[in-house]
Amino acid sequence: MAFALRLTGHDRQWAEDVVQETLIKAWRNADKLDRQPEMLRAWLFTVARRTVIDGWRSRSVRPQELEEIESDAIAVSDESDRTLAAMIVYEALQGLSPEQREAIQQTYLRDRTVNEVAATLGVPPGTIKSRIHHAVRALRRALRERG
């Protein structure tokens, strides 16, 4: 999937289609494939690369279809997405320990260095680094769960 993402310019939907097409071709040719892992891997990467090349070619030949936009469907910019994102991050921050939350707020939100935060809180810089490390991992996990 990572290889397909790079080939498609990080177009996730297209990359998923490429991976699916590659696996279908592997399934159809299973009896003919070399079972050595490095040979199989090379074959899969080649098929994926050729599938992407075929996709680029077909996109360049056919003009992209455009839908007619109704005047009622025109998006008006608002802050709802930004507000929702802020609420999700706030909830994720509440799941951290008070020490981790303070380390994140001081370093990321108030743009202070680890040494400044350590001096302010009266703890070694290594402790602040550890709190930040564990807090960022916990935030990633919490945000992933929230979508």
Residue-wise pLDDT for 71-96, tens only, equals 555 666 667 777 877 788 888 888 88
More confident residue, 63 or 40: 40
Q: Where is the domain boundary, 41, 61, 81?
A: 61
Decide: 138 and 95 in contact? Cβ < 8 Å: yes
Give the percent of the chain with pLDDT over 70.
88
C-alpha pair distances (Å), 137 with each of 70, 83, 96: 44, 23, 10
Name the domain count of the chain.
2
The confidence score (pLDDT) of residue 65 equals 65
Q: pTM (2 decimals)?
A: 0.45
Residue 117 clears pLDDT 70, i.e. is over it: yes
Asked if the structure places residue 86 within a domain, the reply is no
Answer whether residue 82 is part of any domain. no
Q: Is residue 140 part of a domain?
A: yes
pLDDT at 70 over 80: no
- What is the predicted pLDDT for the residue at 30? 83
Distance of alpha carbon 54 from alpha carbon 121, whole angstroms:
58
Give the tokens for residue 72. Answer: 């009622």
- The top-scoring range by mean pLDDT among 28-37, 41-50, 84-93 is 41-50
Question: How many Å apart are CA 122 and CA 93, to the nearest integer?
Answer: 22
Structure confidence at residue 32 (pLDDT): 84
Structure tokens at 89: 């991050």
CATH number of the CATH domain containing 106: 1.10.10.10
Instruction: Kindly state whether residues 106 and 56 are assigned to the same domain.
Output: no
